[in-house]
Structure 1
Amino acid sequence: MRNVLLAVDGSRPSEEAAKFLARLPHFDPVELTLVSVVHRRFVHASYSTNELVEKAYEQDCLTTQASLQRIAGIFDGANVHVKTELIEGAVGESIVQKAKDIKADLVVVGATGHSQISRMLLGSTSDFVATHAPCSVLVVRSQMLPQKSAPLKVCLGYEGTGPCQAALEELMESPWRGQTELNVVLVANCLNEMYADSKCVQYYKDELSHAKEQLEEVSDHVTTHFLEDVHYGEGITRFVESHDINLVVLGETPRSQFSRFLLGSTSQYVLRHVPCSVWITRNRMIEGLKRSETTSAVQRQ
Structure 2
Amino acid sequence: METRMGESSSNGIMKVMVAIDESDTSFYALRWTLEHVLNHLHRQGTTLTDPDEAVGESTAMVTIVHAQQPFQPFVYPAGPVVYPSTTVIEAVTKAQNENTASLLTRALHMCKERMVKAETLILKGDPKEAICQTADDLHVDLLVVGSRGLSSLKRAFLGSVSDYCAHHVHCPILIVRPPKETKK
* TM-score (normalizing by structure 2): 0.69
Cross-structure match for 1:108: 144
Q: Secondary structure at the match of 2:93?
A: helix
Q: Is the 8 A contact 1:6 1:107 kept in 2?
A: yes
Is 2:106 the partner of 1:70? yes
- Aligned partners of 2:22, 2:84: CA distance in 1, in Å? 30
Equivalent of 2:168 in 117, 126, 132: 132
Cross-structure match for 1:16: 28
> How far apart are residue 127 of structure 1 and its match?
0.4
Cross-structure match for 2:177: 141
Q: Is the 8 A contact 1:99 1:107 kept in 2?
A: yes
- Aligned partners of 1:56, 1:120: CA distance in 2, in Å? 27
> How far apart are residue 77 of structure 1 and its match?
4.4
**Shift in alpha-carbon separation, 1:13–1:118, aligned structure 2, 3 A:** farther
Is 2:70 the partner of 1:40? yes
Is 2:123 the partner of 1:87? yes
Q: Secondary structure at the match of 2:117?
A: strand
In percent, how many aligned pairs have the same letter? 27
> How far apart are residue 40 of structure 1 and its match?
2.3
CA deviations on 1:97-133 (whole Å, 9 max, x unpaired) are 110111100000000127xx45994851100111111
- Aligned partners of 1:19, 1:129: CA distance in 2, in Å? 20
**Shift in alpha-carbon separation, 1:61–1:74, aligned structure 2, 3 A:** same
User: Which AA in structure 2 matches 1:127?
Assistant: D
> How far apart are residue 78 of structure 1 and its match?
3.3
- Aligned partners of 2:152, 2:18: CA distance in 1, in Å? 22
CA deviations on 1:137-167 (whole Å, 9 max, x unpaired) are 000100259xxxxxxxxxxxxxxxxxxxxxx
- Aligned partners of 1:42, 1:85: CA distance in 2, in Å? 22
Aligned length: 142
**Shift in alpha-carbon separation, 1:63–1:131, aligned structure 2, 3 A:** same
> How far apart are residue 10 of structure 1 and its match?
1.8
Q: Is the 8 A contact 2:73 2:84 kept in 1?
A: no
Q: Secondary structure at the match of 2:89?
A: helix
> How far apart are residue 43 of structure 1 and its match?
2.4
User: Which AA in structure 1 matches 2:125?
Assistant: G
User: Which AA in structure 2 matches 1:75?
Assistant: C
Q: Is the 8 A contact 2:145 2:162 kept in 1?
A: yes
- Aligned partners of 1:102, 1:63: CA distance in 2, in Å? 24
Q: What 5-or-longer segments of structure 2 have no aligned partner?
A: 1-5, 7-13, 46-57, 75-81
Q: Secondary structure at the match of 2:33?
A: helix
Q: What 5-or-longer segments of structure 1 have no aligned partner?
A: 146-301
- Aligned partners of 2:106, 2:154: CA distance in 1, in Å? 30
- Aligned partners of 1:75, 1:40: CA distance in 2, in Å? 28
Higher share in strand: 1
- Aligned partners of 2:23, 2:123: CA distance in 1, in Å? 17
Is 2:135 the partner of 1:99? yes
Q: Is the 8 A contact 1:113 1:119 kept in 2?
A: no
Tell me how large the CA RMSD over aligned residues is: 2.4
Q: Secondary structure at the match of 1:142?
A: coil
User: Which AA in structure 2 matches 1:4?
Assistant: V
